[in-house]
């Protein structure tokens, strides 16, 4: 009888296009799937609350699929290196396979696991699977990591021959070895009191089936992606980010699906460029693992940020007084997701107008986004703050009023998420504090009571941000 091979699952919760799983099951070898919930108290960036919700449902789905195929996923809590080595010894496994990670703590776990397995004469191998390219292999002409997106993505497109392609494989044979496993429900990944995720079910279908359905749905809309993706009321974004983060679908599947001959539109190419931005963020985190903790541009360590707990709380609750920002923050709280254009505007208001450190926003998004990804979240916040690689210049301050007027001209997005402004005339939807008293009365709206006044006037916020930048330059 052939000895089994263990596949350690992390952020590749799917059964199709799974290189590690396919390699493990080659030649009819029995496969054991395991997922380890890391319980280290000193481990940075444990999954946020919204991510735990998605993780629960993804694990539930894949566990059912494996069970239908005659297997069982082993669930355990603790140190991955210790737990997986124990599973390997208990099962008599000859090797452990996994998909290579880019997050620093996950890469450290891989090194520790290799060492433990080697002590016990058990083989190990990591595979690419969640990115289009191995981040270790994409380098500039000087042999150094890229720091600017455009040349990075051009280099990737030139290297399409080495891009990871979708891998066709059949369901492996799962090992029948009886192994101790914890109950998924015992992990308490779902919110209870209060159940803030009760609306998530009507918005999302986590897991591989949901990911494939979302990808198929988007392919039909891809030609309009470039034209409509910046308008939150149209909502023509792909909504694939959580499926990509958890590996319910692979980046290779997403790229291939939009790379058919009938989809060589500007929309499809624009979406592929967004996949490229995801690759770039992963590239940065791989080569600069300190990115989630420190400003990429070290001079920003002396930036005069303001510690303002009240402003931060108002921003988190969607009570900034800027309707487009408040709509986005409320959409985030209710659905675990926010439109990308609105993410940029909301982030800019926090770090530019309010001068609150980008790490506070990064942490809030990490806890509330179902697509919270350490690389993309860190790079995105630093991009807006002006302190990241290839960042927007600090003097580029998104005006929340102008952004709302341009990208939600009829206020449909605002009305959906900030219903207290429903009866305001379109003229004042983006500046309710400027509406005359009689207009506010007709709309049953009192500024400061039914809806807040702006935390800071847009022009004053911009001036304060530029003054802070000027102060930094003098240091």
Query: pLDDT by residue (tens digit) across 333-382?
Result: 999 999 999 999 999 999 999 999 999 999 999 999 999 999 999 999 99
pLDDT, position 198: 84
Residue 460 near residue 468, CB atoms below 8 Å? no
d(CA 248, CA 84): 22
Q: What is the pLDDT of residue 472?
A: 87
> What pLDDT is attached to residue 263?
58
CA-closest candidate to residue 146, choices 278, 280, 272: 280
Report the relative pairing of strands 123-127 and 95-99 from DSSP bridges: parallel
Between CA 42 and CA 428 the distance in angstroms is 49
Q: Which residue has the tokens 């911009």?
A: 462
Using the structure block, give the residue that is written with the tokens 């914890």.
182
Q: What is the DSSP letter of 202?
A: G
131-166+207-287, what's its fold? 1.25.40
Q: Is 78 strand, coil or helix?
A: strand
Provide the pLDDT for residue 169: 84
Residues of the chain with pLDDT under 70: 1, 261-264
CATH superfamily of 298-474: DNA Cyclobutane Dipyrimidine Photolyase, subunit A, domain 3 (1.10.579.10)
Give the tokens for residue 460: 């004053």
**Residues 64/244, Cβ–Cβ less than 8 Å:** no
- For 222, phi then psi, to 5°, come to -55, -40
Domain spans, the chain: 5-129, 131-166+207-287, 298-474
d(CA 57, CA 189): 9
pLDDT at 289: 97
* CA-closest candidate to residue 296, choices 396, 398, 385, 371: 385
Separation between Cα atoms, residue 216 and residue 85, nearest integer Å: 39
User: What is the Cα–Cα distance from 295 to 305, expressed in whole angstroms?
Assistant: 13
Fold classification of 5-129 (topology level): Rossmann fold (3.40.50)
Indicate if 298-474 has the same CATH topology as 131-166+207-287: no
């Amino acid at each position: 009888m052939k000895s089994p091979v263990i596949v350690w699952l992390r952020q590749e919760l799917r059964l199709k296009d799974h290189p590690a799983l396919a390699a493990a099951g080659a030649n009819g070898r029995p496969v054991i799937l395991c997922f380890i919930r890391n319980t280290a108290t000193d481990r940075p960036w444990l999954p946020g609350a919204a991510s735990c919700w998605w993780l629960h449902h993804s694990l539930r789905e894949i566990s059912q699929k494996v069970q239908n195929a005659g297997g069982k996923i082993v669930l355990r809590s603790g140190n991955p290196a210790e737990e997986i080595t124990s599973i390997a010894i208990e099962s008599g496994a000859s090797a452990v396979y996994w998909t290579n990670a880019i997050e620093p703590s996950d890469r450290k776990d891989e090194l520790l696991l290799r060492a433990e397995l080697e002590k016990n004469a058990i083989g190990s191998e990591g595979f690419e699977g969640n990115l289009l390219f191995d981040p270790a292999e994409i380098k500039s002409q000087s042999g150094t990591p890229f720091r600017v997106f455009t040349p990075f993505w051009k280099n990737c497109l030139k290297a399409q021959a080495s891009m990871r392609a979708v891998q066709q494989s059949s369901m492996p044979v799962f090992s029948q070895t009886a192994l101790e496993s914890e109950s998924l429900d015992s992990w308490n990944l779902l919110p209870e009191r209060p159940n803030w995720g009760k609306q998530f079910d009507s918005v999302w279908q986590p897991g591989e089936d949901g990911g494939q359905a979302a990808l198929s749905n988007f392919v039909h809309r891809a030609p309009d992606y470039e034209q409509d993706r910046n308008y939150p009321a149209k909502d023509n974004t792909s909504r694939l980010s959580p499926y990509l983060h958890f590996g319910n679908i692979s980046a290779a599947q997403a790229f291939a699906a939009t790379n058919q001959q009938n989809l060589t539109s500007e929309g499809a190419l624009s979406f592929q460029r967004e996949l490229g931005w995801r690759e770039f963020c992963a590239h940065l985190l791989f080569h600069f693992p300190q990115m989630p903790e420190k400003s990429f541009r070290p001079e920003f360590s002396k930036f005069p940020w303001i510690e303002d707990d009240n402003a931060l709380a108002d921003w988190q609750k969607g009570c900034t007084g800027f309707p487009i920002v408040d709509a986005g923050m409320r959409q985030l709280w209710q659905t675990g997701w926010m439109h990308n254009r609105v993410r940029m505007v909301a982030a800019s208001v926090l770090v530019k107008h309010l001068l609150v450190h980008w790490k506070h926003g990064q942490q809030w998004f990490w806890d509330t986004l179902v697509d919270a990804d350490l690389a993309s979240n860190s790079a995105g916040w630093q991009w807006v703050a002006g302190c990241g690689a290839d960042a927007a210049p600090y003097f580029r301050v998104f005006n929340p009023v102008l952004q709302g007027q341009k990208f939600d001209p009829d206020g449909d997005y605002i009305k959906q998420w900030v219903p207290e402004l429903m009866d305001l005339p379109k003229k004042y939807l983006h500046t309710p504090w400027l509406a005359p008293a009689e207009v506010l009365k007709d709309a049953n709206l009192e500024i400061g009571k039914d809806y807040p006044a702006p935390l800071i006037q847009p022009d004053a916020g911009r001036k304060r941000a530029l003054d802070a930048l000027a102060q930094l330059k003098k240091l």
